[in-house]
């Protein structure tokens, strides 16, 4: 029982027993305060019921702050708009891991280390052969990251800061190689090894698109060099995906961390959770849905379908659990999409369908009253299509960006002395 005279408390009355219980209200630096109910079951004999954790804070964190009503997103206190405009993805990775942006020299060292760690053990490369030619790259990616754990056993017991960072740098660096290999495996074509002369993002595009031994690239409409504008757009997409506080896949990563499993196994579980259409898989579904709609004149019928309470059809790329205003990442990507319109030939039928959906949904009472705005996946789907990246690689690209967030959250969990194994309760309604 807490001091009832204290204003930072919350008193609850059980009307069945007329007993009252008082709990502390915890104040963060920003965002809603949190009721500390850690002793609730011991005090009252009751569990709390909150499917989908819509009102439950499961940890404290200093990594990412979101104000869903205002449409605000910050990594380590820095606004996402600032990071997207003035900093690279690698600077963002350094920021998440080290709680501050790097100096020029620190960035050079970090960049060099990430380039050098991008190679995969030859034993691991054999794993890719086990997958069928048309395997989805997310399946291969998740399996390969689990396999990676067996090459770096030492990361299961990390004792100091240096070892935490080595473990984190290793996975950030190798994920693009694994994703590119998974893609090439799905096409049945030989792998392109990482090139330490190339930046993080250009290296990934090259490993994905280059012909073996040459500078030509596999593109839908011929063989082209990778353009700077493509590298810049993809780097921005990586930055916007870098972290997003306690989303579904991060919650999975923390849950696996809580059991003491290897950090790369936790990342592999995060990859599996991200794959779903309600989460990171939405970017692939957005384009599949636009292709299915097929032409601008059919858009209105699909909007009506999405609004029908008796139809489970949903507009992919719309809505968000936390943002009840425009997703700030979507705003940045909408601007990027407009900038890229001329340079990347965005004026296709698919883009016209997307624009029509966006226009109707933003003014339709059903979407407006439910705060259903286009989310990040709506625009990444469109931009990645313009970059001639195949649909099956959209979610692996989300994985590349998010790996730093997952691993930073894993480290935070491990360092937090209040962390406990994740073990929710239930309301039993069976026999
Ligand atoms: N199309 C049509 N209606 C929708 C949509 C949509 N995309 N999203 C939500 N709604 C409706 C629901 O039917 C519900 O209506 P009701 O109140 O009349 O029953 C209302 O809006 C609230 O929906 P919930 O499912 O309760 O919202 P929740 O916060 O649980 O779900 C989610 C959020 C999963 C993102 C949901 O909006 C959705 O399925 N969107 C489509 C998939 C998608 O784009 N996912 C990517 C999210 S971003 C990310 O993970 C990176």
Residue 339's domain is classified under what CATH number?
Answer: 1.10.580.10
281, 319, 362, 395, best to mutate for ligand 1 pocket (most atoms within 8 Å of CB):
319
Question: Which residue is closest in CA terms to ligand 1's atom 35?
Answer: 320
Tokens of 175: 């994920």
49 and 57 in contact (C-beta within 8 Å)? Answer: no
Q: Is 320 a catalytic residue?
A: yes
Name the helix (H) or strand (E) containing 223: strand 222-223
Q: How far apart are CA 319 and CA 329, in angstroms?
A: 13
Q: Which of 87, 243, 320, 327 is catalytic?
A: 320
Distance 321 CA to ligand 1 centre (A): 7
Question: Which residue is closest in CA terms to ligand 1's atom 32?
Answer: 320
Please check whether residues 266 and 178 belong to one and the same domain.
yes
Task: Reply yes or no on whether the pLDDT at 93 is more than 80.
Answer: yes
In a domain, 75, yes or no: no
Range of the domain at 379: 84-431
The whole-chain average pLDDT of the chain stands at 92
Task: List 9's β-bridge partners, or say none.
Answer: 24
Question: What single-letter DSSP state applies at residue 53?
Answer: G
In a domain, 109, yes or no: yes
pLDDT of residue 344: 73
In a domain, 324, yes or no: yes
Please check whether residues 232 and 282 belong to one and the same domain.
yes
Distance 280 CA to ligand 1 centre (A): 13
172 and 113 in contact (C-beta within 8 Å)? Answer: no
Distance 169 CA to ligand 1 centre (A): 35
Please check whether residues 55 and 110 belong to one and the same domain.
no
Please check whether residues 281 and 359 belong to one and the same domain.
yes
Please check whether residues 365 and 336 belong to one and the same domain.
yes
88-110 CB burial, b ≥16 within 10 A, e <16 = bbbbbbbbbbeeebbeeeebeeb
Q: Is 36 a catalytic residue?
A: no
Over residues 163-175, the pLDDT tens digits come to 999 999 999 999 9
pLDDT of residue 215: 53
pTM, rounded to two decimals:
0.92
Please check whether residues 61 and 93 belong to one and the same domain.
no
Over residues 192-212, the pLDDT tens digits come to 999 999 999 999 999 998 766
Q: How far apart are CA 354 and CA 88, in angstroms?
A: 28
Q: In a 10 Å sphere around its CB, with 0-12 CB exposed, 13-18 middle and 19+ buried, how is residue 292 labelled?
A: exposed
Please check whether residues 282 and 190 belong to one and the same domain.
yes
Please check whether residues 95 and 182 belong to one and the same domain.
yes
Give the three-class secondary structure for 221: coil
CB neighbours of 394 closer than 8 A, spacing ≥ 6? Answer: 283, 284, 287, 380, 381, 384
Task: Reply yes or no on whether the pLDDT at 18 is more than 70.
Answer: yes
Residue 56 belongs to domain with CATH number: 2.20.28.60
Confidence of residue 1 (pLDDT cuts 50, 70, 90): very low
Any residues with Cβ below 6 Å from ligand 1, and which?
A: 278-280, 282, 306, 314-321, 370, 372, 375-377
Q: Which of 111, 235, 327, 377 is catalytic?
A: 377
pLDDT of residue 179: 97
Tally of structural domains, the chain: 2
Confidence of residue 350 (pLDDT cuts 50, 70, 90): confident
Distance 318 CA to ligand 1 centre (A): 7
Please check whether residues 261 and 408 belong to one and the same domain.
yes
Q: How far apart are CA 327 and CA 325, in angstroms?
A: 6
Q: How far apart are CA 317 and CA 282, in angstroms?
A: 6
């Amino acid at each position: 029982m807490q001091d009832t005279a204290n204003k930072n408390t919350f008193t609850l009355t059980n009307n069945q027993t007329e007993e009252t219980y008082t709990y502390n209200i915890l104040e963060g630096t920003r965002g809603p305060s949190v009721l500390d109910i850690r002793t609730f079951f011991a005090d009252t004999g009751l569990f709390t019921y909150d499917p989908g954790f819509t009102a439950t804070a499961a940890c404290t964190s200093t990594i990412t702050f979101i104000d869903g009503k205002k449409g605000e997103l910050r990594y380590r206190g820095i606004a996402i708009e600032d990071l997207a405009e003035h900093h690279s993805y690698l600077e963002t990775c350094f920021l998440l891991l080290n709680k501050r942006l790097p100096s020029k020299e620190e960035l050079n060292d970090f960049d060099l280390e990430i380039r050098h760690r991008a190679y995969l053990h030859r034993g691991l490369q054999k794993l890719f052969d086990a997958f069928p030619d048309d395997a989805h790259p997310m399946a291969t990616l998740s399996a390969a990251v689990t396999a990676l754990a067996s090459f770096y056993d030492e990361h299961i017991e990390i004792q100091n800061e240096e070892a935490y960072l080595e473990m984190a740098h290793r996975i950030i660096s190798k994920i693009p190689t694994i994703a590119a290999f998974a893609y090439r495996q799905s096409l049945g074509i030989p792998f392109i090894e990482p090139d330490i002369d190339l930046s993080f993002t250009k290296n990934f595009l090259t490993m994905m698109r280059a012909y073996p031994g040459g500078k030509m690239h596999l593109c839908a409409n011929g063989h082209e060099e990778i353009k700077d504008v493509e590298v810049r757009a993809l780097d921005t997409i990586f930055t916007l995906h870098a972290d997003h506080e306690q989303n579904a896949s991060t919650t999975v990563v923390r849950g696996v961390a809580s059991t003491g499993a290897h950090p790369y196994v936790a990342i592999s579980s995060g990859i599996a959770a991200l794959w779903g259409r309600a989460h990171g898989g939405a970017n692939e579904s957005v384009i599949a849905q636009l292709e299915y709609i097929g032409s601008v004149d059919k858009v209105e019928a699909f909007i009506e379908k999405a609004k029908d309470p008796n139809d489970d059809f949903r507009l992919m790329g719309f809505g968000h659990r936390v943002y009840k205003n425009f997703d700030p990442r979507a705003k940045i990507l909408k601007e990027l999409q407009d900038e890229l319109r001329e340079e990347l030939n965005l004026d296709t039928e698919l883009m016209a369908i997307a624009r029509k959906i966006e226009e109707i949904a933003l003014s339709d009472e059903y979407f407006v009253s439910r705060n259903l705005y286009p989310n990040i996946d709506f625009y990444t789907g469109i931009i990645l299509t313009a970059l001639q990246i195949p649909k099956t690689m959209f979610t692996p690209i989300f994985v590349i960006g998010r790996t730093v967030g997952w691993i930073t959250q894993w480290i935070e969990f491990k360092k937090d002395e209040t962390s406990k194994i994740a073990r929710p309760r239930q309301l039993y309604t069976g026999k």
